[in-house]
Amino acid sequence: MDSLSGKLLVASPALDDPNFSRTVVLLLEHDSGGALGVVLNRPGAHRLDAIWDDLAHGPCPLDLPVMTGGPLQGPLLVLHDTAAMAERAIVPGVFLAMHRDLLVTLVRDRSDPLRVFTGYAGWGAGQLDAELEAGDWIITAATSGLVFADCDSLWQRTRTHIADTNLAASLRIKHLPAQPWHN
Protein backbone atom coordinates (compact mmCIF):
# COMPACT_ATOMS: atom_id res chain seq x y z
CA MET A 1 0.00 0.00 0.00
CA ASP A 2 1.18 3.51 -0.74
CA SER A 3 2.04 5.74 2.19
CA LEU A 4 -0.91 7.52 3.76
CA SER A 5 1.27 10.12 5.48
CA GLY A 6 -0.52 13.46 5.38
CA LYS A 7 -3.94 11.89 4.91
CA LEU A 8 -6.94 11.96 7.23
CA LEU A 9 -8.48 8.83 8.66
CA VAL A 10 -12.16 9.36 9.35
CA ALA A 11 -13.73 6.83 11.69
CA SER A 12 -16.62 4.95 10.15
CA PRO A 13 -19.89 5.21 12.11
CA ALA A 14 -19.53 1.49 12.96
CA LEU A 15 -16.12 1.93 14.66
CA ASP A 16 -16.95 1.48 18.34
CA ASP A 17 -13.46 1.61 19.88
CA PRO A 18 -13.84 4.34 22.55
CA ASN A 19 -10.42 5.74 21.65
CA PHE A 20 -11.46 6.35 18.04
CA SER A 21 -15.25 6.52 17.80
CA ARG A 22 -16.26 9.57 15.72
CA THR A 23 -12.66 10.76 15.35
CA VAL A 24 -10.57 12.25 12.59
CA VAL A 25 -6.88 11.28 12.68
CA LEU A 26 -4.13 13.10 10.81
CA LEU A 27 -1.48 10.57 9.80
CA LEU A 28 1.96 12.00 10.41
CA GLU A 29 3.81 8.85 9.32
CA HIS A 30 2.82 5.67 7.51
CA ASP A 31 5.14 3.05 6.05
CA SER A 32 5.65 -0.71 6.08
CA GLY A 33 6.63 -0.54 9.76
CA GLY A 34 3.35 1.01 10.90
CA ALA A 35 1.66 4.36 11.30
CA LEU A 36 1.56 7.31 13.69
CA GLY A 37 -1.00 10.10 13.85
CA VAL A 38 -2.94 12.46 16.08
CA VAL A 39 -6.65 12.60 16.77
CA LEU A 40 -7.73 16.08 15.68
CA ASN A 41 -11.08 16.28 17.45
CA ARG A 42 -10.55 15.20 21.06
CA PRO A 43 -9.96 18.09 23.45
CA GLY A 44 -8.28 16.79 26.58
CA ALA A 45 -9.14 17.50 30.17
CA HIS A 46 -6.30 20.02 30.57
CA ARG A 47 -5.63 23.45 29.22
CA LEU A 48 -2.21 24.65 28.10
CA ASP A 49 -1.77 26.86 31.16
CA ALA A 50 -1.88 23.72 33.37
CA ILE A 51 1.38 22.47 31.85
CA TRP A 52 2.95 25.80 30.92
CA ASP A 53 5.20 25.96 34.01
CA ASP A 54 6.90 22.78 32.80
CA LEU A 55 7.64 24.48 29.47
CA ALA A 56 8.40 28.12 30.24
CA HIS A 57 8.38 30.73 32.95
CA GLY A 58 5.67 33.31 33.37
CA PRO A 59 1.99 33.25 32.59
CA CYS A 60 0.73 31.22 29.65
CA PRO A 61 -0.13 33.69 26.86
CA LEU A 62 -2.81 31.50 25.22
CA ASP A 63 -5.88 29.78 26.56
CA LEU A 64 -5.86 26.55 24.54
CA PRO A 65 -7.03 23.03 25.22
CA VAL A 66 -4.37 20.36 25.11
CA MET A 67 -5.79 17.87 22.64
CA THR A 68 -5.74 14.13 23.30
CA GLY A 69 -3.80 12.98 20.26
CA GLY A 70 -4.45 9.32 20.98
CA PRO A 71 -4.22 6.59 23.57
CA LEU A 72 -0.42 6.25 23.47
CA GLN A 73 1.76 8.46 25.62
CA GLY A 74 4.37 10.60 23.98
CA PRO A 75 5.88 14.07 23.82
CA LEU A 76 3.88 17.21 23.20
CA LEU A 77 3.24 17.67 19.50
CA VAL A 78 2.19 20.94 17.90
CA LEU A 79 0.47 21.47 14.57
CA HIS A 80 0.70 25.00 13.22
CA ASP A 81 0.95 26.99 9.99
CA THR A 82 4.33 28.73 10.41
CA ALA A 83 6.86 27.22 8.00
CA ALA A 84 9.81 28.96 9.66
CA MET A 85 9.01 27.16 12.93
CA ALA A 86 8.54 23.70 11.44
CA GLU A 87 10.44 20.55 12.16
CA ARG A 88 8.51 18.92 9.34
CA ALA A 89 5.85 19.80 6.80
CA ILE A 90 2.81 17.52 6.91
CA VAL A 91 0.65 18.98 4.12
CA PRO A 92 0.64 22.46 2.59
CA GLY A 93 -0.06 24.93 5.38
CA VAL A 94 0.31 22.36 8.19
CA PHE A 95 3.60 21.90 10.00
CA LEU A 96 4.76 19.82 12.96
CA ALA A 97 6.87 20.97 15.89
CA MET A 98 7.90 18.85 18.85
CA HIS A 99 10.90 20.70 20.23
CA ARG A 100 10.15 22.58 23.44
CA ASP A 101 11.72 25.86 22.25
CA LEU A 102 9.57 25.86 19.11
CA LEU A 103 6.43 25.19 21.14
CA VAL A 104 7.19 28.04 23.54
CA THR A 105 7.95 30.45 20.68
CA LEU A 106 4.78 29.49 18.80
CA VAL A 107 2.66 30.07 21.91
CA ARG A 108 4.40 33.30 22.87
CA ASP A 109 4.05 34.63 19.31
CA ARG A 110 0.37 33.67 19.52
CA SER A 111 0.56 31.71 16.31
CA ASP A 112 -2.87 30.94 15.01
CA PRO A 113 -3.91 28.35 14.07
CA LEU A 114 -2.18 26.21 16.65
CA ARG A 115 -3.06 22.80 18.09
CA VAL A 116 -1.15 21.25 21.00
CA PHE A 117 -1.40 17.47 21.48
CA THR A 118 -0.43 15.09 24.20
CA GLY A 119 -0.34 11.46 23.20
CA TYR A 120 -0.69 9.95 19.77
CA ALA A 121 -2.31 7.14 17.86
CA GLY A 122 -0.08 4.34 16.64
CA TRP A 123 -0.44 1.19 14.58
CA GLY A 124 2.05 -1.65 14.18
CA ALA A 125 3.07 -3.12 10.84
CA GLY A 126 -0.05 -4.15 8.92
CA GLN A 127 -2.46 -3.13 11.70
CA LEU A 128 -3.82 -0.01 10.01
CA ASP A 129 -4.05 -1.83 6.68
CA ALA A 130 -6.23 -4.49 8.36
CA GLU A 131 -8.47 -1.82 9.91
CA LEU A 132 -8.84 -0.14 6.52
CA GLU A 133 -9.71 -3.47 4.92
CA ALA A 134 -12.34 -4.05 7.65
CA GLY A 135 -13.94 -0.69 6.82
CA ASP A 136 -13.12 0.99 10.14
CA TRP A 137 -11.68 4.08 8.46
CA ILE A 138 -12.34 6.25 5.42
CA ILE A 139 -9.32 7.99 3.89
CA THR A 140 -9.36 11.53 2.55
CA ALA A 141 -6.81 14.21 1.76
CA ALA A 142 -5.83 16.49 4.61
CA THR A 143 -6.05 20.23 4.11
CA SER A 144 -5.15 23.01 6.49
CA GLY A 145 -8.83 23.98 6.52
CA LEU A 146 -9.81 20.56 7.84
CA VAL A 147 -6.83 20.13 10.19
CA PHE A 148 -7.54 23.44 11.94
CA ALA A 149 -11.35 23.30 11.74
CA ASP A 150 -13.60 23.44 14.78
CA CYS A 151 -13.04 20.13 16.52
CA ASP A 152 -16.65 19.79 17.68
CA SER A 153 -17.96 19.52 14.12
CA LEU A 154 -14.87 18.07 12.43
CA TRP A 155 -16.04 14.45 12.14
CA GLN A 156 -19.34 15.40 10.50
CA ARG A 157 -17.75 18.13 8.39
CA THR A 158 -15.12 15.71 7.09
CA ARG A 159 -17.70 13.02 6.32
CA THR A 160 -19.72 15.60 4.37
CA HIS A 161 -16.56 16.66 2.50
CA ILE A 162 -15.91 13.02 1.54
CA ALA A 163 -19.51 12.50 0.39
CA ASP A 164 -19.47 15.70 -1.67
CA THR A 165 -16.12 14.79 -3.24
CA ASN A 166 -17.30 11.29 -4.12
CA LEU A 167 -20.60 12.58 -5.53
CA ALA A 168 -18.86 15.19 -7.66
CA ALA A 169 -16.40 12.59 -8.97
CA SER A 170 -19.07 10.05 -9.80
CA LEU A 171 -21.20 12.66 -11.59
CA ARG A 172 -18.10 14.20 -13.22
CA ILE A 173 -18.92 17.60 -11.79
CA LYS A 174 -15.96 19.96 -12.16
CA HIS A 175 -17.08 22.49 -9.54
CA LEU A 176 -19.42 21.75 -6.65
CA PRO A 177 -20.72 24.93 -5.02
CA ALA A 178 -20.51 25.14 -1.22
CA GLN A 179 -24.31 25.34 -1.04
CA PRO A 180 -25.65 23.69 -4.18
CA TRP A 181 -29.25 23.89 -2.96
CA HIS A 182 -29.13 27.64 -3.58
CA ASN A 183 -28.78 27.08 -7.35
CATH of domain 7-182: 3.40.1740.10
Euclidean distance between CA atoms 172 and 113, whole angstroms:
34
Three-state SS at 156: helix
Q: Identify which of 138, 129, 85, 76 has the alpha carbon closest to the alpha carbon of residue 109.
A: 85
pLDDT in tens, 17-65: 999 999 999 999 999 999 999 999 999 999 999 889 888 888 888 889 9
Q: What is the model's pLDDT at position 162? A: 86
The β-bridge relationship of strands 114-118 and 65-68 is parallel
Q: What is the model's pLDDT at position 177? A: 65
> Are the CB atoms for 155 and 11 separated by under 8 Å?
yes
> Are the CB atoms for 68 and 119 separated by under 8 Å?
yes
Q: How far is CA 22 from CA 14, 28, 173, in A?
A: 9, 19, 29
pLDDT in tens, 72-123: 998 899 999 999 999 999 999 999 999 999 999 999 888 789 999 999 999 9
Q: What is the model's pLDDT at position 183? A: 57
Per-residue pLDDT, averaged over 140-147, amounts to 95
pLDDT in tens, 149-163: 999 999 999 998 788
Q: Identify which of 87, 68, 77 has the alpha carbon closest to the alpha carbon of residue 18.
A: 68
Provide the CA 165 distance to its chain's centre, in angstroms: 19
Q: Identify which of 35, 34, 178, 54 has the alpha carbon closest to the alpha carbon of residue 116.
A: 54
